[in-house]
Amino acid sequence: MVELRLVPCGDRALLCYLGDRIDPAINDRVHALARTLRQLAHPAVVEVTPGFHAVLIEFDPVRIRLEQLEEMVRHAANETGAPGPQSARTVEIPVCYGGEMGPDLVTVADHTGLPVEQVVKRHAGELYRVYALGFSPGFPYLGGLDPALHAPRLAEPRVKVPGGSVGIGGEQTGIYPAPSPGGWQLIGRTPLRLFDAHRPEPALLQPGDMVRFMPIDPALYATLEAGQSAVELSLPGYEPGRTGLRILQPGLMTTLQDLGRRGYMSLGVPTAGAADPWSLMIGNWLLGNRARTVALEITLTGPEVEFTGPTAFALTGAPIPAELLPADGSHARPISGWRTVLAAPGDRLRLGATTAGCRSYLCVAGGLDLPPVLGSLSEDLFGKIGPVGRPLRAGDWLPVGLPLHPPADLAGRQLPDDAVPAFEGRLTIRATRGPQAEAFTPEALQRFFAESYQVGPQADRQGLRLSGPHLHHVGRADIISEPVPAGAVQVPANGQPILLMGNRQTTGGYAKIAVALYNDLWSAAQLRPGDSLRFQEVEAGEAHQIAWQERRRLGQIRRYLERARRSPETTSLLQPIAVVAPEPVAIDQPSPAPRTFRITIAGIEFEAVVEEVET
């Protein structure tokens, strides 16, 4: 029997531990199990992410029961057995150590008691195994660090680590491929690009590779850096007569977001996508779009856009002042949220600052006609992955795709008032105990679930840094880096929790006291700095019942919007839902047959398929 420990995390993730240390044999079994689970291609398994000693499985709790999934994993682990030896390639990585490139080199030397020259010699003198990719796209977790160089992570992670930085975290060493937050001691930097989403093989390194660091001087670093080519990303130019959105003013931070990218977490690529997917999906349903259609995610301050053709649009998410300025110069008219509005060519939509909440969404019928990157149009600003790899700027033009329905047929659709979420600046987040709950004192666990926290100024799409009661660890805050589920609450050595969101790093090395329920993250994404939140403990069984409840509620909303006419006769078609989980779909039970209908746009007939609710 294979050693296996299964730990549920929140309502839709399962951590599978195959050991408790960094060991090549354990890591071989981890990757073998991950391959086996992917080959099973079970429709309820959303993502499989291997790490050093554990595999994270993200799953749909409506399509498979937890006990079914656990049995499937045990069977796969036993069937996989011990993998045979695999050939490995050796990759040389040039590194400029110390100085501006390695600001913590002296700190590591002081901690280890070694001269700086010895730290560099020992670090470059080892052959390292790539155990996993994670944290950020292409980040290699390397094993084989000389024990004399072990150094603790920072008590408080840096907000931004330069791309190419080589660091030490505990008994591990690794390379940051792109600028990102991080808590490792930085000792050098490489000029090589470790990840490029536009290469046939995006990641330079793969699990199982061997790495050797080669010391170089600053002059050679500059030469090698100049030779690194990158794909220049750009949006298409304006096409006269074509419907699109011209960005006149971009607002504070406006990005393209859909429901995110899947299947790349093993390369360190996060799901990303809309921080509040609930608002994105409803905005798309109002317009007859698919749930995952891309939209503009607006943070705190909105843009001003011009419509270059007739367009149906909807504003959802945080309430934000909006007015439509007609192209003919007539009086501007105010625009309310959660309803479909028509714009004529040349009309401008001007948005102010959110009056509550943090993020609003501008959805348009037909979505935006842009090429996806790794299967998604979402902009991951931390990994620099997306159609443009940045927020939108003044002058950008976004072509609109072909709408499923004629825009005039969409006018007047709106969400019932009792379904519009409240944005109150305070929130209760339901959560299960985390995989390292035992790493905290009983008093810390009691305070975590009993007292409130405040959202700090360092809050973004990756996570919310919280301030409040100090949470004491039983021992160290560091753990072996492992895959991180969405909603994980990790606690560094400073005792202040960080709630990780959908655009989180894929792996992390701080103990996790809890994991928030997936649907509650959508509300958490609307919290602003200074807002407050509390955590309410729930058991795994209750968490899965809540997942059923939320899925049924989304289904109600979608069915209502599908039936909505131009002038709805009622203001509410939503009924309260009891938290009762019906039997999930059996493994061999077919999904309901899709419904089809035909529409005609501009004299062309199309066949449309009604999809299932996506979450």
Q: What's the CATH number where 521 sits?
A: 2.40.100.10
Contact 114, 63 (CB under 8 A): no
Tell me, yes or no, whether 267 and 415 share the same domain: yes
Based on the domain organization, do 254 and 398 belong to the same domain?
yes
Say whether both 108 and 192 belong to one domain.
yes
Cα distances (angstroms) measured from residue 48 to each of 33, 52, 341, 504:
10, 14, 41, 16
- Model pTM greater than 0.75? yes
Average pLDDT over residues 538-567: 85
Final residue before a domain boundary, out of 368, 389, 419? 419
pLDDT(597) > 60: no
**Residue 166 pLDDT exceeds 90:** yes
Task: Note whether 143 and 248 are same-domain residues.
Answer: no
Q: 595 lies in a domain? A: no
Q: How many C-beta atoms surround the C-beta of residue 391 within 10 A?
A: 18
- The pLDDT value recorded for residue 579 is 41
Q: Is the per-residue pLDDT at 154 higher than 60?
A: yes
* Helix ranges restricted to H, 52-191: 66-80, 105-112, 116-124
Q: How far apart are CA 94 and CA 278, in angstroms?
A: 45
The closest of 501, 474, 485, 449 to 181, measured between CA atoms, is 501
At residue 589, the pLDDT reads 40
Q: Looking at the structure, tell me whether residues 46 and 127 fall in a common domain.
A: no
pLDDT at 43: 94
Does 445 fall in a domain? yes
* Closest of 223, 285, 219, 366 to residue 564, by C-alpha: 285
Q: How confident is the model at residue 500 (pLDDT cuts 50, 70, 90)?
A: very high
Q: Which of 20-29, 338-347, 598-607 has the lowest mean pLDDT?
A: 598-607
Average pLDDT over residues 66-81: 92
Mean pLDDT of 553-579: 65
**Predicted pLDDT at 583:** 47
Q: What is the CATH number of the domain that holds 285?
A: 2.60.120
Q: Last residue of some domain: 176, 191, 226?
A: 226
Matching residue, tokens 């996806």: 372
DSSP 434: P
Percent of the chain past pLDDT 90, that is, above it, reads 74
pLDDT bin (cut points 50, 70, 90) of residue 382 is: confident
445 and 403 together in one domain: no
Q: Are residues 177 and 155 in the same domain?
A: yes
Tokens (6 digits) for 171: 């008994």
Structural domain ending residue among the three candidates 522, 538, 554: 538
Report how far residue 315's alpha carbon sits from residue 357's, in angstroms, rounded to the nearest whole number. Answer: 14
Q: Give 408's pLDDT tier (boundaries 50, 70, 90).
A: confident
For a pLDDT cut of 70, what percent of the chain falls above it?
89
Q: Mean pLDDT across the stretch 364-393?
A: 93
Any domain includes 191: yes
CB contact at 8 A, 490 and 508: yes
What is the pLDDT, as a whole number, of residue 84?
A: 58
> Residue 449 belongs to what domain range?
426-538
Sequence-separated (6 or more) residues with CB below 8 Å from residue 183? 153, 154, 156, 157, 158, 169, 492, 509, 510
Q: Is the dihedral of CA 20, 26, 32, 35 positive or negative?
A: positive
Residues 203 and 281 reside in one and the same domain: no
Residues 405 and 296 in one domain: yes
The residue ranking higher by pLDDT, 578 or 538, is 538
pLDDT higher than 80, residue 85: no
Q: Give the DSSP H/E element, type plus range, for residue 6.
A: strand 5-9
Give the pair of three-digit tokens for residue 168. Answer: 């030490």
DSSP classification of residue 503: T
Q: Are 13 and 485 in contact (CB under 8 A)?
A: yes
Quick one: 302 and 409 in the same domain? Answer: yes
Same domain, 252 and 378: yes
Looking at residue 141, what is its pLDDT? 87
Are the CB atoms for 245 and 398 separated by under 8 Å?
yes
How far apart are alpha carbons 482 and 233 in whole angstroms?
32
Helix (H) or strand (E) holding 425: none
Is 104 in contact with 186 (CB distance < 8 Å)? yes
Is residue 558 situated within a structural domain? no
| Lowest mean pLDDT across 38-52, 104-118, 149-163, 490-504 | 149-163
Same domain, 353 and 276: yes
